[in-house]
Structure 1
Amino acid sequence: MSNIPGDLLYTASHEWVRTDSDGTVTVGITDHAQIALGDLVFIELPEAERVVDAEETCAVVESVKAASEVYAPFAGEIVESNAALADTPELVNNDPYGDGWLFRIRPIGALEGLLDATAYAATLAD
C-alpha cells in the first residue's frame, strides 16, 4: 500500500505538490510512482528559470526497470532543482515526500486540476 500524505495535493500522473511559505511549490513523485519504478539510478531535472506549461515534461526519472517522464503539475517557472539527486537518486526511493523532492516551481496563474489525498487514492484503486 502506498503512502499518501493528507497534507499534499496530487496529479493523476503521480506527482505530489506542496505549497511552501514563500509562494513557491515543491514537486516530487509519489510513493506509488517510486514503488512502481523500482530503484532509481538517474534523474534528469529541469534548470532554474525554465518556464514550463501545465503537463509539460520537465524531468525524467530512470530506474533499473524503466524511464518515466515527470510532468509540470501547472504552468510556472522552475526556481530550483534538488541538486542532491545527481549523486543520490535513491533519495526518491527512501523519502519521496521529504529529501526526495525533485524541483520547486513558482506558479503562473491558479493551481487547477490537482487532487486531494482521497481523490488521488481513488485513482490508484481504479
Structure 2
Amino acid sequence: MKSRVLAAAAAVLILGGCASTGRLLSYGVELSDALLRMGHAQFSIYVHPKDDTLLIQRRVMQTSNYDGQELIRIAAAQFLEPVDCTVTEVRLIAPGGWEAGFACPAGVDLRALVQQQRAALQTGAPLHP
C-alpha cells in the first residue's frame, strides 16, 4: 500500500509540479472516498478533510479527451445531489485532477455522511441523506 502511495505521489510530482502536488496531497493518501459512474465513465471522488472541496479524477484506464470542466461539474453535481449540496466552482489543479467546491444546506455534514457510507460509496452506490 505504501509503495502505491509513494509511486502515485512521485507521478504527481513529475506531472503536476510542486504547487499542485501540495494541493493533491492535502486530500490525504487513502483510497478514494467514492466511485461515481456516469455511463461508461468512472470517477474517483475524494472529500477534502477540511475545505469544502472534492477532488475528482477519472479512474485508471478511463482517460478521455472530453474530461473538461463541464463534465467534472456534472460529475460533482451528480455525487452531491442526493444530499442537496451544490457545486460552487470547478478548477483543474493537476493533469487529470479536478477540484470542485461545494456548498451544503444547514444541517448537512457531507464529510460525516461520506465517512458513514464510505464502504458502499467505494462500490459505486449513491450518497444517501
Could you state the TM-score of these two structures normalised by the residue count of structure 1?
A: 0.43
Higher relative contact order (CA 8 A, sep 6+): 1
More strand by share: 1
Larger Rg: 2
What is the TM-score normalised by the length of structure 2?
A: 0.43
| Bigger helix share | 2
